[in-house]
Amino acid sequence: MTEPFDAKSLLATVTELPGVYRMLDGAGQVLYVGKAKNLRKRLASYFRDNPPSPRIAMMVAQIASVETTVTRSEAEALLLENNLIKSLSPRYNILFRDDKSYPYIVLTHDNYPRLGFFRGATNRRADYFGPFPSSPAVRESIHLLQKMFRLRTCENSVFNNRSRPCLLYQIKRCSGPCVGLVQPARYAEDVQRAAMFLQGRQQDVIGSLSAAMDQAAARLAFEQAAVYRDQIQSLRQVQEKQYVESGNADDVDIVVAIEYAGLLCVNLAMVRGGRHLGDRPQFPVSTIDCVASSPLEALTAFLYQHYPLHPIPPRILVNLALSDEELADWLSATARQPIRVGEARLTLQRVWVEMAEQNARLAINARRSVLSRQGARLEALRQTLGLDIEDGKEARIECFDISHTQGDSTVAACVVYQGSGMRKSEYRRFNIEGIQPGDDHAAIRQVVHRRYEKLLRSDGVVPTLILIDGGSSQVSSAAAVLAELGLGYLPMLGVAKGETRKPGLETLVFADGREPLQLSPEDPALHLIQEVRDEAHRFAVSGHRARRGKASRSSRLEEIGGIGPKRRKALISRFGGLQGISDAGIDQLTAVPGISRELAEKIYAALH
């Protein structure tokens, strides 16, 4: 019997400085990671007679030791806490997986700036507006801006090589700067107004357009005045659609947490410049222990995890009264401006919060439907194949596929299904080398060996089932490799396509010698197998195409004397690829740094 944890001895030695604490169980596994402005006071709050929640009481009962790390400030403690939570995944922490960056609208700093969709790390070579909750919200805004200001959206490789305007010019979604159909000064005005619109300064944009319309009318340029008039009308329609009952051009985040039908959801809705951009529901990535987390705990955890990585608006509306008094101060210090955090008071704000809560419930219903369907499929697969899955353990399926073109640029893919869906962060591709071109059996042997040899070295997660996109010979090749590695006990299944390759006619091939099985096209077990197999095929084909395309772009240029890595990179960067280089004339080729006229003529002759 283990001795109870001595909290008094711990608290007698803990400092009152800010820092991070880690609570560990008897096996050394991290139970919980937290941050504190005062480590002693925060840790003391866990060991009172009345724990704040049953979840905390369950956690405290398992504590065997506590480790602390002192930091210079609470802000540093928060950053360290977030990093440790994401790297350690403690079972009692509420973790929100932010595996994709939020999308932005970008306005480049080119002579004729490009309007576009952007996701990734920002830099000073462009202006970024956002973030937006979803890709559709960005694309809708870009569509509006094209309609109102007619800015170009094409990449530089296309823009620099056009000789006539594209379809967007014909349908009045672009002013044709690529062929000089708009003056630079006029285009710059449109860019400035688009930026003002994205900043929420719609009234300023309308005032600017009204003044420009009056000036055009005074010059008797009635056609130009009509263009400004149409822009003003489009802007006012957007205002009427987005403002609901308010004309305020506010930047607000609405964050709500609700528990409904046994699931916990935090929904983030964004308002930028008075425009409601939509919602982004998120579900905690947690173990069974965290189901007991309250909506308030989930809301607080989300605010602390989300805002170190994303811009903080001046106002954050929540649907619950926050008990963390330090949160608003921390947000203000992080944003370097006052941040108001609290429940809605105005009518429009309450409408926004109610909308966010309703959308959270819809997201929960959708997730329940997916979980129910996936659960039925997995249970059908377990019964059909006789899989032995331990209680409380998630089934894990890994599927392999090979893609090549007549043996060239062979790529193998491994995709992972676990829990309620595909785990894209765990997908892997393998470039297959050193085999006879077109030998799928050798490719399967190589990828299975590389995948599971690494798993044995790193003590990784063992799959419940291995799928091979292929027939009996591919399955035999993979099974032989697993036997060599001492993993021959793992269940393996081949998915052989029917004669017509029509979905529903697949034959399941067993590695243990059982007779092949053909399931009904309506069987939910077959539907799960098809879903995972199709995803492996998609992932393998996309990897093969990328590898083949890269080889094609490089090989044709490498055959031309005088084209080294630097010149090849400069050409591809300027023209976007081999097709763009082929379309370019000799004069355009000589404009690339390092390309003389003689070399340009040589390139042109080699590609034509």
Residue 416 has a pLDDT of: 93
Q: Which helix (H) or strand (E) holds 226?
A: helix 222-242
Which residues, including other chains, have CB under 8 Å from residue 556's CB and lie 6 or more apart? 578, 606, 607
Residue 389 in any domain: the answer is: no
Looking at the structure, tell me whether residues 132 and 216 fall in a common domain: yes
Q: What angle do CA 353, 200, 250 make, to 5 degrees?
A: 30
- Number of folded domains in the chain? 5
Count of residues for the chain? Answer: 608
**Pair 103, 117: CB distance under 8 Å:** yes
Q: How many CA atoms lie within 13 A of 141 on its CB side?
A: 33
Amino acid at 353: V
* Residue showing tokens 């620099």: 160
Rounded Cα distance, 493 and 495, in Å: 7
Residue 380 in any domain: the answer is: no
Residue 390 in any domain: the answer is: no
Residue 290 has a pLDDT of: 46
- What is the residue-wise DSSP string for 531-593? HHHHHHHHHHHHHHHHHHHHHHHHHHHHTSTT--HHHHHHHHHHHSSHHHHHHS-HHHHHTST
134-185 confidence digits (pLDDT tens): 888 788 888 878 888 889 999 888 888 888 888 898 888 898 999 889 889 8
Among the residue ranges 231-245, 360-374, 488-502, 543-557, the one predicted with the least confidence is 231-245
* For residue 288, pLDDT beyond 60: no
354-397 confidence digits (pLDDT tens): 989 998 998 898 888 888 888 888 888 888 888 877 655 678 99
298-313 confidence digits (pLDDT tens): 898 899 888 887 888 9
Please state, rounded to an integer, the average pLDDT across all residues of the chain: 82
Looking at the structure, tell me whether residues 591 and 501 fall in a common domain: no
Looking at the structure, tell me whether residues 431 and 513 fall in a common domain: yes
Residue 286 in any domain: the answer is: yes
Residue 447 has a pLDDT of: 92
Looking at the structure, tell me whether residues 406 and 539 fall in a common domain: yes
Looking at the structure, tell me whether residues 407 and 437 fall in a common domain: yes
Residue 244 has a pLDDT of: 43
Among the residue ranges 4-18, 43-57, 276-290, 296-310, the one predicted with the least confidence is 276-290
pLDDT band at 287 (very low <50, low <70, confident <90, very high): very low
Q: What is the CATH number of the domain that holds 14?
A: 3.40.1440.10
**Can you tell me whether residue 252 is helix, strand or coil?**
strand
Looking at the structure, tell me whether residues 237 and 259 fall in a common domain: no
Looking at the structure, tell me whether residues 26 and 51 fall in a common domain: yes
**Pair 414, 399: CB distance under 8 Å:** yes
Among the listed residues 573, 579, 173, 157, the one whose alpha carbon sits nearest the alpha carbon of residue 165? 173
* Residue showing tokens 């007698």: 12
Which among 545, 572, 597 is the end of a domain?
Answer: 545
Looking at the structure, tell me whether residues 136 and 220 fall in a common domain: yes
Residue 487 in any domain: the answer is: yes
Residue 54 lies in domain? 7-88
Residue 388 in any domain: the answer is: no
Residue 262 has a pLDDT of: 81
Looking at the structure, tell me whether residues 425 and 347 fall in a common domain: no
Residue 385 in any domain: the answer is: no
Looking at the structure, tell me whether residues 509 and 403 fall in a common domain: yes
* For residue 284, pLDDT beyond 70: yes
Average pLDDT over residues 88-115: 82
Q: What angle do CA 560, 570, 565 make, to 5 degrees?
A: 50
Looking at the structure, tell me whether residues 227 and 287 fall in a common domain: no
* For residue 352, pLDDT beyond 80: yes
Rounded Cα distance, 414 and 449, in Å: 12
Q: What is the CATH number of the domain that holds 459?
A: 3.30.420.340
Residue 315 in any domain: the answer is: yes
Which among 88, 119, 146 is the end of a domain?
Answer: 88
502-530 confidence digits (pLDDT tens): 776 888 988 888 888 888 888 888 989 99
Looking at the structure, tell me whether residues 83 and 179 fall in a common domain: no
